[in-house]
């Protein structure tokens, strides 16, 4: 019950950010998108409506169930896939995705360096990561976060802050970067 209430609050409160990261990533209809920690699935649905395929990875069975319900038609169509896994260990093939999106979950990964290394592993060279997280929960500065992402094998790292609409919304730290090409 508490999980369902929390999911409903997240779905409503974070919808603008979830949609925004899909827009920032410029998801195209021939691309595969990995959504880390989709929670109630708002961003997973937005990605699935734009991409050839969207894969949601979350360790919580409750959240996966709610995501699956929100994306039921896209799951039936085979566009959205849902996996019980983590950012640190997605279980996906090397270089199998074009875009990775993470909204409000980097601060709860057990190991950020492992998470960013895993994202670099599964992204194709030139693939993009777009991240957003509540600034108040991030244990490092956005510049430190950018440096962690660079260390994991990304280039063109940009970070900024954004105030989402809504009275209860709080400032987000956001970042985008590109996975280095093999010889870059």
Ligand X SMILES: C[S@@+](CC[C@H](N)C(=O)[O-])C[C@H]1O[C@@H](n2cnc3c(N)ncnc32)[C@H](O)[C@@H]1O
Paired tokens of 31: 């691309």
Q: Please select the residue that binds ligand X; options are 33, 109, 119, 128, rule is CB under 6 A.
A: 109
Residue 37 binds ligand X (CB under 6 A)? yes
Query: Any idea what DSSP says for residue 92?
Result: P
Q: Which is nearer to ligand X, 14 or 159 (CB)?
A: 14
Q: Which is nearer to ligand X, 115 or 127 (CB)?
A: 115
Q: Considering only the stretches 68-76, 107-115, 141-149, 160-168, report the one whose residues sit in contact with ligand X under the rule CB under 6 A.
A: 107-115
Q: Which is nearer to ligand X, 9 or 184 (CB)?
A: 9
Q: Cα–Cα distance between 34 and 121 in angstroms, integer?
A: 12
Q: Please select the residue that binds ligand X; options are 22, 27, 48, 105, rule is CB under 6 A.
A: 105
Q: Looking only at residues 51 through 90 of this chain, which bind ligand X when binding is defined by CB under 6 A?
A: 57-60, 63, 86-88
Residues with Cβ within 8 Å of 102's Cβ and at least 6 positions away in sequence, in order, are: 35, 36, 37, 87, 119, 129, 130, 131, 132, 133
Residues with Cβ within 8 Å of 145's Cβ and at least 6 positions away in sequence, in order, are: 106, 131, 138, 159, 173, 175
Residues forming contacts to ligand X in the complex (CB under 6 A) are 10, 14, 36-39, 43, 57-60, 63, 86-88, 103-105, 108-110
């Amino acid at each position: 019950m508490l999980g369902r209430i929390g999911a409903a609050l997240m779905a409503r409160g974070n919808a603008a950010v979830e949609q925004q990261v899909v827009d920032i990533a410029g998801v195209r209809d021939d691309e595969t998108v990995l959504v880390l920690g989709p929670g109630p699935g708002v961003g997973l649905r937005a990605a699935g409506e734009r991409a050839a395929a969207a894969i949601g990875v979350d360790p919580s069975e409750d959240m996966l169930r709610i995501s699956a319900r929100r994306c039921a038609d896209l799951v039936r169509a085979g566009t959205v896939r849902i996996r019980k896994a983590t950012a640190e260990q997605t279980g996906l093939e090397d270089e199998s995705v074009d875009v990775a999106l993470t909204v409000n979950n980097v601060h709860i990964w057990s190991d950020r360096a492992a998470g960013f290394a895993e994202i670099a592993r599964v992204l194709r060279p030139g693939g993009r990561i777009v991240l957003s997280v509540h600034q108040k929960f991030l244990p490092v500065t956005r510049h430190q976060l950018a440096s962690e992402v660079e260390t994991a094998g990304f280039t063109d790292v940009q970070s900024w802050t954004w105030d989402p609409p809504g009275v209860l919304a709080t400032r987000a730290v956001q970042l985008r970067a590109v996975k280095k090409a093999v010889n870059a």
